[in-house]
Structure 1
Amino acid sequence: MARKVILYLAESLDGFIAEPDGSTAWLSQLAATEADDAYQRFYAGIDTVLMGRKTYQRALRLAGSYPYSDKESYVFSTTLHDTDDPTTVVAGNVPEFVRQLKAKKGKDIWLVGGADIFTDLLKAGLVDQLIITIAPVLLGDGISLVASGISDVDLHLTQVEPLGQLTALHYDVHQPA
């Protein structure tokens, strides 16, 4: 079975993945035992993590150290050159790199974030699935899931997963033939 690139994240009910300053502190205020269990199941099914520089730096600030050191990890950046953890920095053609990564044997690949990287990979037809956990929070403003420049992406709802006060929506991305 081919590896899938899966965007897995939480967003507010009004469609933001972070506050305007990039903060996701609102997530830690939610009592989300069921969501935590779902995350652990998802995490066990991946062996590779992809993210942009801003997401990487935010993860380091929040966790104090790199939280995915047990996974093969890639950070896409043209300004970051070295890391103090097992992360590999990729500065070249992101879609081509991910295309090659998908062709290798392994478990699924988690696209942690960056709206720009998600949008670029979606445009390139390299995102296979979205798992979006909707949190019962209205932020009013913030960072959107998608950067501008995409239109008419065909998604197929495959599962609705109640997780206490949160709900995970699982979508397959239908690529044009």
Structure 2
Amino acid sequence: MGKVIAAITTSVDGFITGPEDGPDYGLGKGGERLHYWVMGGPWTYDGGHHFAMNGPDKDFYDELEAGMGAGIVGRGMYDAAGAWGGTNPFAGPLFVLTHRLQDQPAAASGFTFVSGLDEALVQATGVAGGKDVSIGGGADVIRQALAAGRVDELVLSTAPVILGSGKRLFDGFDHDVDLEIVKTVSSTLATHVRYAVKR
């Protein structure tokens, strides 16, 4: 049986986006710096972008992705990413939490819209084939899953930047959760920590 792994990138001060995130600005103003590690270095929305990880960042990501059978994200992340150009770029099917189910894209896209976290976890686990289910954000989805006790492992990639404003990962989260460090990987662009959620 696979694990449920919640993974996201934050700034040093705990933001997962800069201000004004959304379809127009993706990760928000200045937020693209959070994902320098994903893109292999500096990038901009205007200049086009693609995954170009290398070195320790790529090794970390490849190990994580190799165990994934399905993923879950929120509608905000889906929209901010421009639906990844209309095709799921991740390993396994991707379930999108949304109240707007009528927007469901074609099955060939690799996206399935669902209305609740429990339903998403049931469907994702069912198609994951015994592999892990990734919860990739946004922050609200990860907070919901942690609060419900559904996360086995929390993976935080911390970019060396202080954003000062935006959306915080743990804004409003009031649960007491013990974590155990499983693995740490660092590069010049991020420090990745895998934490087991202690029960």
TM-score in terms of structure 1 length: 0.84
> 1:58 aligned to 2:80?
yes
Say which of 64, 72, 75 aligns to 1:42. 64
Q: Which runs of 4+ in 1 moved over 4 A?
A: none
Alpha-carbon deviation of 1:102?
A: 3.8
Identical amino acids, percent of aligned pairs: 30
**Residues 9-53 of structure 1 deviation map (CA, whole Å, 9 limit, x = unaligned):** 211111111112221412344536321332122112202010010
Distance change (3 Å), C-alpha of 1:147 and 1:27: closer
> 1:25 aligned to 2:32?
yes
Aligned length: 172
> 1:73 aligned to 2:87?
no
> 1:150 aligned to 2:174?
yes
Q: CA RMSD in A?
A: 2.3
Q: How does 1:131-150 map to 2 (within 5 A)?
A: 131-150=155-174
| Structure 1 contact 95–124 (Cα < 8 Å) conserved | no
Q: Partners of 1:163 and 1:122 in 2: how far apart?
A: 27
| Structure 1 contact 60–66 (Cα < 8 Å) conserved | no
5+ long unaligned stretches in structure 1: none
| Structure 1 contact 95–126 (Cα < 8 Å) conserved | no
Say which of 90, 94, 109 aligns to 2:133. 109
| Structure 2 contact 93–124 (Cα < 8 Å) conserved | no
Q: Partners of 1:83 and 1:65 in 2: how far apart?
A: 8
